[in-house]
Amino acid sequence: MRGLLLALVAACGPKVQPAAPSAFDEDFAATKPITDRPVDAVDLASRPEAPKGAGVRSGTIDRARMLAVLDAGVPSFLKQFEVAPHIEHERFIGWQLVQLIDRASPLTTVDVVPGDVLLAVNGKPLSRPDQLQAMWDSLRTSNQVIAELWRGNAKFQLRFDIEPKLENAPAVKLGPIPTDPVPRPPPPKSAKPVPATK
């Protein structure tokens, strides 16, 4: 069942740590100015490989079990852990693991620890709900799950093959991961319209 991870630490979205500002939190946006200055794509090549921890970083996932996890849906998977947005240079970078909630979860056998930051799954960032859903749906026809993570100043990957393989599965393309700006909340609506001056 370790493979369920792979539907992954990745499906990380919202079981967000309440004390930390959410990427969609209006208070955060109001207290920290957001600029539009560009930030370089996340550069995994410049970071050293993180030493291996106690869990596994590779293996196989039974396709039937993967499909059962996918059929249960994203909310069911997200109940297993708590994450918080990881922001650098006023940009959302990834989801930082705060804690595993379900100690019986297959995620406990995978090499992830609190503080690890999930950047992407199968080369796709997960900063918006639509990206998370697209990744989740794509796992149905994928032959691999590759999660890219940071641990401190180092990087590592979790690579799991999904068996049995599908003949026409799209290849996983890895490369620079684009960072998204922290979403700005809409401007507050005025209670009364301001009359035009003559």
**Residue 172 CA: distances (Å) to CA of 5, 153, 157, 168:** 18, 25, 13, 12
Strands 58-62 and 154-163, how do they pair? parallel
**167/143 Cα distance (integer angstroms):** 9
pLDDT tens for 36-47 read 333 345 566 788
Residue type, 41: A
Q: Encoding tokens for residue 153? A: 């100043």
In a domain, 182, yes or no: no
**What dihedral do alpha carbons 97, 106, 161, 86 form, nearest 10°?**
-10
Tell me the pLDDT band of 72, cut-offs 50, 70 and 90. very high
Asked whether residue 189 carries a pLDDT value surpassing 90, the answer given is no
The sign one gets for the Cα dihedral 158, 149, 111, 107 is negative
Give the pLDDT score at 176: 56
Quick one: which of 124, 129, 130 has its CA closest to 147?
A: 124
Global pTM reads 0.69
In a domain, 186, yes or no: no
Burial of 7: CB neighbours in 10 Å, binned 0-12, 13-18, 19+: buried
- In the chain, the number of structural domains is 1
Among the residue ranges 13-22, 90-99, 145-154, the one predicted with the least confidence is 13-22
In a domain, 155, yes or no: yes
Looking at residue 162, which CATH number applies to its domain?
2.30.42.10
Asked whether residue 83 carries a pLDDT value surpassing 90, the answer given is yes
Strands 144-151 and 124-125, how do they pair? unpaired
In a domain, 190, yes or no: no
Tell me the pLDDT band of 6, cut-offs 50, 70 and 90. very low
Q: Where in the sequence is the domain holding 21, given as residue range(s)? A: 3-30+56-166
Give the pLDDT score at 198: 55
Please state the length of the chain: 198
Tell me the pLDDT band of 18, cut-offs 50, 70 and 90. very low
Tell me the pLDDT band of 128, cut-offs 50, 70 and 90. confident
For residues 164 and 27, is the Cβ–Cβ distance under 8 A? no
In a domain, 139, yes or no: yes
Helix (H, G, I), strand (E, B) or coil at 53: coil
Q: Residue 10 carries which DSSP code?
A: G
In a domain, 157, yes or no: yes
Residue type, 29: A
Asked whether residue 90 carries a pLDDT value surpassing 70, the answer given is yes
